[in-house]
Amino acid sequence: MSSQVRLRLLPRARCLFDEPIKVKVEGLRSRQVVTMRARLTDDKGVVFSSSATYRADGSGEVDLNRDPSLGGTYVGVEPMGLLWSMRAQKSHKKFQKATSLKPQLVNFSVHEGEGRILAEETNERILIGDGVSRVPVQEGNISGVLFTPPGGGLFPAVLDILTFKSETRASLLANKGFVVLAISLVEGKFESFEHYPRFHLDHFKEAIDFLKQQPKVDSKGVGIIAKSKGADIALSLATFVPGIKAAVSINGCSANVGIPLYYKKQQILSPLQYDFSKLITSESGTNIVKYIFEDPLAEKNKGSLIPIEQAKTHLLLAAGEDDHNFDSKRYMDQMVERLKRHGKENFESVSYPGAGHLLQPPYKPFCPSCAHGLFPFIGSWGGEPKAHAAAEVHLWKKIQEFFRTHLSCDAAQTKAKL
């Protein structure tokens, strides 16, 4: 490494996972061309990396907030491009951060052309800020992890329903002043819809009641957030179960997908059926699922439609317009039309051109394909990396504002400090 060259991560090398950083290089030759690289290893041991070519200014500096990448895994001025453009060294792998206990370490380095390292620095991206508690929960039918902000409370509460096991979203919301219980859609590995004769809203209501009973929680009402199949469960909870004040549906369906839904020992929604003959498989082995599902508005499927006009909950509906898993924009438009037809104003909707299915908290490596999770094959998720990354930044801020607005509690403004 060159003693003249310095790589700086500002305002500090340690930050929350969802915080942007400024990457600067100093001490280069005037107009020197260098390669910037980033590299990390996820919880499953999969290595992700990115690279970009930059030209220093007349003072020998590179500033990723100002200067364009001339080539590499992204081009143009993209301050966080080295993070979202990372690619897995193995095909069809999704970045996995299953637990929040350990920070994600990202190595940034600057190279002379494609050669020797001139400088490097490690970015420590933490998921739990100082004072946030993490407690595993095994109680009744509840199996999950409870995150609680520091301080005396009272705090608003959110139930995070997961299709892919991850504590990232829940732990980051706790840093923002929310008590969050993260639970999986199903326990263990989800093999296929056929293995589950029915879902019970009662199990999720049990988790909601548990949240309300926590000593630091404002018990007047809770929020729910979920994506994909979990989103139609969230919308069904908002419709049929009282005490839910705000629900976020990300790339969800307007109907109950795949599995009969029960509440209080009675079936309340039939399943929206699907036809695998309409699956589109690429030469690389990825599968586009969105076309296999029947039309929710067809007469025979009316029993699967979620009657969200009955919900007294505030709703935030979000859709990626390039989703390969669900026809999410169309489903969202169906729900918006239904709500408007019934004179409802308790909702917001937002869609993102170029965004795919896996809309998550920002600054993760973009994932085009990986094991599906609900079906036994490799799923194609859609999305264009740059547009998808921008959508994640916007949606993450919107989710926080939405919950702060509708989960009325002064402590919602509390933020844990590093």
Closest CA to 337 of 304, 296, 303: 296
| Cα distance between residue 69 and residue 34, in whole Å | 10
Catalytic residue (one of 18, 323, 327, 372): 323
Neighbours of 182 (CB within 10 A): 27
Q: Are strands 287-288 and 280-281 parallel, antiparallel or unpaired?
A: antiparallel
Q: Are strands 217-227 and 104-112 parallel, antiparallel or unpaired?
A: unpaired
Active site residue 59: no
Catalytic residue (one of 357, 372, 388, 406): 357
Catalytic residue (one of 49, 109, 171, 228): 228
Helices 201-212, 229-240: axis angle to 10 degrees equals 70
Task: Return all residues near 328 (Cβ < 8 A) that are at least 6 apart.
Answer: 251, 252, 253, 319, 320, 321, 351, 357
Active site residue 323: yes
Q: Are strands 104-112 and 33-41 parallel, antiparallel or unpaired?
A: antiparallel
| Cα distance between residue 391 and residue 46, in whole Å | 25
Instruction: State the Cα angle at 168 between 166 and 172, rounded to 5°.
Output: 150
Catalytic residues: 228, 323, 357
